[in-house]
Amino acid sequence: MRVLVATAVPAERDAVARAFQGTARLLERVPGVGAEPGWVARPGADGAPPAPTRAAPGGTHARSLSGVAGVDVDLLAVGVGPALAAAATATALASAALSGVPYSLVVSAGIAGGFVPHAPVGSLVVADEIVVADLGAETADGFLPVTELGFGVVSHRPPDALVREAVAATGARSGAVLTVSTVTGSAERAATLRHRHPTALAEAMEGFGVAEAAVLHGVPVMEVRAVSNPVGPRDRAAWRIGDALDALTEGFGKLGPVLTGWNPHDS
């Protein structure tokens, strides 16, 4: 089984990598490398000498490392926001399919804002629904999601069995994770989002983009978030990014056996 974990930024990617203790592969886009495979070198994450890496179609390369038992995990920092996340994830999925070893699962992962008191700072959230919260239109009667305009989708659901097993293994909370293009900065907007989405536990910026790419390629998707700050007024002094990254590492350490034992055909 081959799993792609997509984070927004390298700090999140590296937090997940620590959980796998050097057995995951770090994917990076390589400027100037086209569709033809080529050999490149990048320094190891621990400052070790550069390891030989083989470029993949679409301008990505993977540092060759051994996989964990039963599952190969690739880690990719896809960038911030749903559009870049979708594009980078789709590119990685297409490259894997062309290589003859497609992915069986995509995981959107990273830190997020949490809706208090439902998801306090430092907690882990596993999405049972991945929702785009601001795709639609403002009207005189309020916000209309794109589905009510007659087209598109606004949510994707991860496999129920996988969510249940992930929650049981990690002790995470399960609920909707919202994807937004503009991070919430007021108590009023936080309350509005929670009113529209009563099961929402967290807010981030990439999950729906990653999910759209996965669904386009027919690959199951899930989202895992560690809460670094409350959704609402932006008080940077209250953020606990380091604690959230540690929680992400701990969570993925417990997710390893779940990913190994999960059957993609389970519902």
- Mean per-residue pLDDT for 13-34? 77
Domain presence at residue 71: no
Q: What is the CA radius of gyration of the chain?
A: 18
Cα–Cα dist 183/111, whole Å: 13
Written as one letter, the residue type at 72 is: D
Cα–Cα dist 160/191, whole Å: 28
Q: Which DSSP state fits 68?
A: B
Per the CB < 8 A criterion, the answer to whether 49 and 43 are in contact is yes
Domain presence at residue 40: no
Backbone angles phi, psi at 181, to 5 degrees: -90, -20
Q: Is the pLDDT of residue 202 over 90?
A: yes
Query: What b-and-e string marks burial along 181-209, b requiring 16 or more CB atoms within 10 Å of the CB?
Result: eeebeeeebbeebbeebeebbbbbbbbbb
Cα–Cα dist 184/193, whole Å: 9
Domain presence at residue 232: yes
Backbone angles phi, psi at 242, to 5 degrees: -60, -45
- Supply the range of the domain harboring residue 144: 109-261
Residues with Cβ < 8 Å from 198, sequence gap 6 or more?
A: none
Domain presence at residue 238: yes
Domain count, the chain: 1
- Mean per-residue pLDDT for 154-180? 96
CA distances from 81 to 91, 242, 244 (A): 16, 21, 19
Domain presence at residue 48: no
* pLDDT for position 29: 64
CATH code of 158's domain: 3.40.50.1580
Written as one letter, the residue type at 27 is: L
How does pLDDT run across 61-111, given as a tens digit for each residue?
443 333 445 678 999 999 999 999 999 999 999 999 998 999 999 999 999
Q: Is the peptide bond before 257 cis (omega within 30 degrees of 0)?
A: no
- Mean per-residue pLDDT for 246-258? 94
Share of residues in the chain with pLDDT > 90 (%): 64
Backbone angles phi, psi at 196, to 5 degrees: -70, -30
pTM: 0.85
* pLDDT for position 234: 86
Per the CB < 8 A criterion, the answer to whether 211 and 223 are in contact is yes
User: Kindly report the CA angle at 40 between 39 and 44, in degrees rounded to 5?
Assistant: 130
**Max Cα distance, the chain (Å):** 60
Domain presence at residue 62: no
Of the two residues 25 and 207, the one the predictor is more confident about is 207
Per the CB < 8 A criterion, the answer to whether 78 and 206 are in contact is yes
Domain presence at residue 199: yes
Domain presence at residue 151: yes
* pLDDT for position 176: 97
